[in-house]
């Protein structure tokens, strides 16, 4: 239900009053019909930040109304919602099932970057070309086919290739279709799909940096370089 309401800016609700985070959580779960992962005071206008299904919603203490959209700090003009989303959706990089990713090492490989990509995603192809220019980095690419059955087929062919990294780059960078068969153990592809859904990854590419920060969608190469340089 929550995803259907995201375009709305303000929706009036009815129900029992809420006095604290626990009550707000209970009330919002009933209203949204979805699990609420966390409720915290937003620090603005007496609002509560409600994190559910990978999204942030703001509500008052009585859950009489909620707001969907970015919250901007009037003094600094910073996007408070965006900053909070980076923290709330961050992961521990070491928890990623890296054995199910295509690994590419450039130079000393000290910097790390993980991506979830669909082989038929145009933005992913652009990213694949951009990151060819990165140096001293280890890139873990998780095959995450969500666009079509052909995406699943291509992912399995790439995974079954003798040189997965080469097969991936041949297709994503040079447009050379994978020639591998789907006759190996391709369970990693299905497990990546399940894992991605648990992380609420709904689009490709989605990137994770070494500090666990998640970046959904395309990101300029210069910004990727900057972020890689910030993570120690």
Assign residue 173 the CATH number of its domain: 3.40.30.10
pLDDT for the residue 19: 54
| Domain shared by 100 and 180, yes or no | yes
Mean pLDDT per 10-residue run, the chain (232 residues)?
A: 46 46 89 89 91 90 87 92 86 96 96 97 96 95 97 97 96 92 93 95 95 91 93 76
| Domain shared by 49 and 163, yes or no | no
| Domain shared by 189 and 162, yes or no | yes
pLDDT for the residue 222: 95
pLDDT for the residue 7: 47
Residue 138 belongs to what domain range? 93-230
pLDDT for the residue 6: 46
What is the number of domains present in the chain? 2
| Domain shared by 105 and 147, yes or no | yes
Can you read off the two tokens belonging to residue 121? 């995603």
| Domain shared by 74 and 149, yes or no | no
Residue where a domain terminates, one of 88, 122, 155: 88
| Domain shared by 83 and 157, yes or no | no
| Domain shared by 98 and 66, yes or no | no
pLDDT for the residue 17: 40
Dihedrals φ, ψ of 176, to 5°? Answer: -90, 110
| Domain shared by 129 and 181, yes or no | yes
Q: What is the pTM of this model?
A: 0.78
Residue where a domain terminates, one of 55, 88, 121: 88
pLDDT for the residue 15: 40
| Domain shared by 134 and 217, yes or no | yes
| Domain shared by 173 and 113, yes or no | yes
Residue where a domain terminates, one of 72, 88, 104: 88
pLDDT for the residue 218: 84
């Amino acid at each position: 239900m929550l995803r259907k309401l995201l375009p709305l800016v303000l929706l009036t609700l009815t129900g029992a009053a809420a006095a604290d985070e626990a009550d707000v959580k209970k009330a919002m779960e009933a209203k949204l019909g979805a699990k609420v992962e966390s409720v915290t005071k937003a620090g603005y206008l007496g609002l509560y930040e409600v994190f559910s299904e990978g999204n942030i919603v703001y509500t008052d203490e009585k859950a009489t109304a909620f707001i969907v959209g970015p919250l901007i700090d009037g003094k600094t003009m910073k996007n408070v919602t965006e900053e909070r989303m980076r923290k709330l959706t961050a992961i521990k990089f070491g928890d990623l099932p890296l054995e199910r990713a295509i690994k590419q090492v450039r130079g000393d490989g000290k910097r790390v970057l993980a991506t979830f990509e669909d082989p038929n995603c145009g933005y992913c192809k652009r990213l694949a070309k951009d990151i060819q220019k990165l140096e001293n980095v280890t890139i873990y690419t998780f095959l995450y086919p969500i666009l079509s059955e052909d995406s699943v087929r291509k992912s399995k062919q790439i995974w079954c290739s003798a040189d997965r990294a080469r097969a991936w780059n041949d297709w994503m960078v040079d447009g050379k279709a994978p020639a591998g068969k789907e006759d190996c153990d391709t369970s990693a592809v299905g497990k990546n799909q399940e894992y991605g859904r648990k992380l609420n990854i709904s689009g490709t590419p989605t990137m994770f940096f070494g500090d666990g920060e998640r970046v959904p969608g395309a990101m300029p190469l210069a910004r990727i370089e900057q972020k890689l340089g910030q993570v120690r």
